[in-house]
Amino acid sequence: MPVVSAPYDFNQGDLFVDLESICGYPLHLKCEAFNFAGSIKLKAAKEMVESAERDGILAPDSVLVESSSGNLGVALSMIAASKGYRFLCVTDSRCNLSTRLLMEAVGSEVHIVADQDSNGGFLGTRIEYVRTLCASDARYVWLSQYTNEGNWWAHYRTTGPEIARQFPELDVLFVGAGTTGTLMGCARYFRQWHRPVRIVAVDSVGSVAFGGEPGRRMIPGLGMSMRPPLLDESYVDEVIRVEETDTIRMCRRMARRGFLFGGSTGTVVSAATDWLARHDVRAVTAVAIAPDLGERYLDTVYQTNWLQDLYGDQILDTADTVDTAHADTLSREA
């Protein structure tokens, strides 16, 4: 068991869950939540902060500021607290309450924007607030997860190799797309791998990351209201867009088997299950990446009133029916 003196020094990267008994297809889920920040975002946060320190961008009186829907904000909060920096997270109303409380618990400030941008999201408004803040005071340092090369480099250096060590015969990798840091880092790594690996990007319906019309998105994590500056589609073989109702159903299906995952994971696993259902998977090694666990979604994805208010009463009935039918199918196969 390791002994650490800083919260960013511990990150369990080699835990995978076999989901075949849940989704009915051979699929392994890489769990990225077992660190003190509780998500995959710790990797990018650590890389971006340390790079800024090496480049002399951060000074003792610097105030880190970042736009985040949640998980990166938590990761930066913990790193800032450990290193003695102040941190301000600019977020919006979709950020889970528990996430905001986590950031404040370790001493960070949280600013919530209320106005939507021209694409119906909050990202443009958040970024504009950050830019205005930085222009007003030179102490503010914006790492900019949307353009920072350290975002994808962290996953090229860690996440990709971690998957490759466990699954040297990997055929297809499913990666959720937000800023696309995880997607681009893993895709670039496997482009050089000893065998072809199909990279499937997973996005939320209503996101414009890969084009299309903007729409309502209530579950934080995946999706963007602008094209991600880090995205290079030449590294992506396929894009699957998932409805939020399907995200919810998959989250609740996994929860009924004892695995409480976050909304982003539900989206990625839903897309992977759909892809596997449409392909011959008898000799396919498939991996999906789970960015976080589900405790930060207890007041949203797993909260009955929240779901009914946004998606109607039928969302719970449909989720129950899907899960029961799936269980019956597995029982007959056994």
What's the alpha-carbon Rg for the chain, to the nearest Å?
19
Does the model's pTM come out above 0.95? no
* Tens digits of residue pLDDT in 144-189: 999 999 999 999 999 999 999 999 999 999 999 999 999 999 999 9
Task: Pick the closest to residue 7 from 39, 30, 29 (CA basis).
Answer: 39
Angle CA 284–202–267, to nearest 5 = 95
Parallel/antiparallel/unpaired status of strands 63-67 and 86-92 = parallel
Q: Which residues contact 277 (CB under 8 A, 6 or more apart)?
A: 25
Read off the pLDDT of residues 53-98 as tens digits, 9 standing for 90 and up: 999 999 999 999 999 988 999 999 999 999 999 999 999 888 888 8
